[in-house]
Structure 1
C-alpha cells in the first residue's frame, strides 16, 4: 500500500509568508493613522463636555482642543484643519485632515479623515 504525502510545498509556504508580510506591512502604516483619528474624536468628545464651551471663543476652543491632542501625541492635525462655526446653542466644530505615509517606492497610503462635533454644553465656565 502506497501512501501519498500531503502538505504545503516550500514555494507555497514562501508565497503565503510574502502575502502575510505585505498585509502586516500595510497594517503598520494604516493602523497608526486610525489610532490618531480616534484620538481626535476622543478629544472632540471631551471638549464637548467642557463646562461653558458653548460660550467660549473659537480661539479658546482651538487652544483646548490642541492641548488635548498634544497629550495624545497627535501631530498631523494643524490649526488650519480645524473649522469652528456658530450653531444653535453653541458651536459646530469640524476637523478635516489628510495623512500621507510612504509605502513602497513611489506608492503612498493616503487617509482622509473628517470628524464633526456640536459643542453645546452649557454651565459655568472656569
Structure 2
C-alpha cells in the first residue's frame, strides 16, 4: 500500500498562519511611521517649489511646513524637530524626529527619521 503526500496538515497551516499574522502585525505597527515620514518628505518638496521661499521669513516657512503636515495628520513632528539654516541661495531645512511605538508588552520599536531640503526657489513671494 503506497501513501502519497496529500498537502499541509492542520498544525502546519496554523504555524504558517501564526507567522504570517506576526509579520502582518509588525507591518501594521511600522507602516504609519513610514507613511508620516513620506508626508514630511512631500511637505518639504512642496515647500521647495513655493515661489519666493528663498527670501521668506523663517517663521513663515515653518508655518507653511506645519500647515502641510496638519493636512496629512502628522503629529510626531514638533517645532523643536525643525531647523532652518541660511545658505548662499536660500534656506536649508532639516527635520529630525523620532517615533516610538509599543510593540508587544515591554518591547518598543523606535524609528529615527531625518529629512533635508534646500529651499532655493526665488520669485514673487505673493503669488
- Relative to the length of structure 2, the TM-score reads 0.96
Deviation at 1:58, TM superposition (A): 1.0
Aligned residue in 1 for 2:39: 39
Q: Unmatched 5+ residue regions in structure 1?
A: none
Quote the Cα distance in structure 1 between the aligned partners of 2:88 and 2:20.
50
Quote the Cα distance in structure 1 between the aligned partners of 2:3 and 2:22.
36
RMSD, aligned α-carbons: 0.9
Q: What secondary structure sits across from 1:97 in the alignment?
A: strand
Q: Deviations over 1:74-115 (max 9, x none)?
A: 111000000000012100000000011101000011110000
1:84-123 equivalent positions in 2, closer than 5 A: 84-123=84-123
Quote the Cα distance in structure 2 between the aligned partners of 1:50 and 1:38.
19
Aligned residue in 1 for 2:13: 13
Aligned residue in 2 for 1:75: 75
Aligned residues: 126
Quote the Cα distance in structure 2 between the aligned partners of 1:28 and 1:86.
39
Runs of 4+ residues deviating >3 angstroms: none
Aligned residue in 2 for 1:125: 125
Q: What secondary structure sits across from 1:15 in the alignment?
A: helix
